[in-house]
Amino acid sequence: MTDLHIDGKRLWQSLMELAQIGATPKGGVRRLTLSDEDRRARDLFCQWARAAGLAVEIDGIGNLFARRAGTDPSLPPVAMGSHLDSQPSGGKFDGAYGVMAGLEALRTLDDAGVRTRAPMEVVSWTNEEGSRFTPVLMGSGVFSGAFTLDHVRAQKDLEGISVGDALSKIGYAGTARPHKLGAYFEAHIEQGPVLENEGKTIGVVQGALGQRWYDVTVSGQDAHAGPTPMELRQDALIGASRMVLEVNRIARGFPDTARGTVGFLQVRPNSRNVIPGEVRTTVDFRNARVSTLDAMCEELKRAAKTIETDCRVTIELRENVYFKPCEFDPALVAQVRAAAAALGHSHCDIVSGAGHDAVSIARIAPAAMVFVPCEGGISHNEIENATPADLAAGCDVLLHAALQAAGVVAGASRAAA
Ligand code: GLV
Ligand code: MN
Ligand code: MN
């Protein structure tokens, strides 16, 4: 069936049209989860899915499922997908590519008249990014049972708006119940430099780093910047600054692909002549081994105690995300590798540093991922870029790996006899 190819031009055009929604001046997108931009992207996806003859369902956390029937309705669907939400200053491809690639794969099957035994589905998961509402991987986490719907609906953003209210406001609180998946494949840009450096078109993703995230509150005391002697201060920003440096030191000092990031800082009262009395910040730790990841967190807790004493502040660490390192399904990973080889694309094995909905779904169904290079390895940035040729190659690999899992009905194909 390797003569069956997706339409790379149609895939690119769909991505560019979608990228108009929430477009930013530097060529990226700002499509925060459950925002009006997210609603418009969902509307467009549903419109395209229905135009392609797919049956669309929405579940309680707003995940969208667009299904193409198979010849055996008793089989669980083979799903492909990713997310339509973005970082506040995100790119055009993170997430959007996996959803549009899934849609393009199903459009291609229709064009070629290919029938599959299992139904096939394109999924758009709610709030993969976790930048407006935590936890990250929210929709796929609810679907896979990692979080309850009630728990995530109660989460609030910085303005005090809850997930439940935001979902109702955009009209995407549905009623579909979780269903079984036969397999799940996710195509994504790599978001790092490996494929570009290695000169490979396809990353055969073995698994993903584990993650532990914290919300951190450093509390001191507001005081006047002039009269208060340096040694009497309880400066929360000094405490928070030392935490930032500790996170960096820990990640540099631990093995097993350790990563440590502080990406959020909110200073109160944030006035130039007031010693800051409170800082809210975050920690994002990642590692390939669960024992090393846990050791990083223990080291952070020790460092926080020292900072509390040194800076006369208190530090509260609240963990809100804990994903263990994930290994994808060996049989599905082999299907991705075989599809890349059969289609003649250069490829290599790779581990994902980013979290993905496939990590959630791997808890309940066989899952695998296909990576394609992105320019300079840059992502979570408006300048994120990828070539039409690489995106088309990844979509072809996605289609063929997923077809292998769904099973092609012999003699039902115009293009692939
Ligand atoms: C998801 O974007 C992540 O932070 O890995
Ligand atoms: Mn993503
Ligand atoms: Mn992302």
- Find out whether the beta carbon of 129 lies less than 6 Å from any atom of ligand 1: yes
87, 380, 384: residue to mutate for ligand 1 pocket, most atoms within 8 A of CB: 380
Q: Please report the pLDDT score of residue 145 as a whole number.
A: 97
The predicted model gives 159-181 an average pLDDT of: 97
- CB burial of 231-270 (b: ≥16 within 10 Å; e: otherwise) equals eebbbbbbbbbbbeebbeebbeebebbbbbebeebebeee
Identify which ligand lies nearest to the alpha carbon of 98.
2
Q: Give the model confidence (pLDDT) of 339-379 as tens digits.
A: 999 999 999 999 999 999 999 999 999 999 999 999 999 99
Residue 2: pLDDT band (50, 70, 90) is: confident
- Find out whether the beta carbon of 366 lies less than 6 Å from any atom of ligand 1: no
Q: Give the model confidence (pLDDT) of 298-322 as tens digits.
A: 999 999 999 999 999 999 999 999 9
Tell me, what amino acid is at 275? I
Do residues 389 and 343 lie in contact, with contact meaning Cβ atoms separated by under 8 Å? Answer: no
Cα–Cα separations (whole angstroms), residue 370 to 83, 109, 279, 367: 15, 19, 39, 11
Per-residue pLDDT for 45 more than 90?
A: yes
Per-residue DSSP letter, 59: B
- Find out whether the beta carbon of 192 lies less than 6 Å from any atom of ligand 1: no
- From the CA of 236, how far away is ligand 2's center (Å)? 33
Q: Please report the pLDDT score of residue 413 as a whole number.
A: 66
CA distance linking residue 298 with residue 280, whole number of Å: 20
Nearest atom in ligand 1 to the alpha carbon of residue 137 is 1
Which pTM does this prediction carry?
Answer: 0.97
Q: With pLDDT > 70 as the criterion, what percentage of the chain qualifies? A: 99
In the structure, ligand 2 is a single-atom ion and the residues with CB under 5 Å from it are 94-95
Q: Give the model confidence (pLDDT) of 204-214 as tens digits.
A: 999 999 999 99
Q: Is 17 left (phi over 0), alpha (psi -120 to 50) or beta?
A: alpha
Q: Please report the pLDDT score of residue 75 as a whole number.
A: 98
What mean pLDDT, rounded, does the chain reach?
Answer: 97
Q: Is 300 left (phi over 0), alpha (psi -120 to 50) or beta?
A: alpha
Q: Give the model confidence (pLDDT) of 257-292 as tens digits.
A: 999 999 999 999 999 999 999 999 999 999 999 999
Per-residue pLDDT for 93 more than 80?
A: yes
- Find out whether the beta carbon of 355 lies less than 6 Å from any atom of ligand 1: yes
Do residues 205 and 333 lie in contact, with contact meaning Cβ atoms separated by under 8 Å? Answer: yes
Tell me, what amino acid is at 298? E
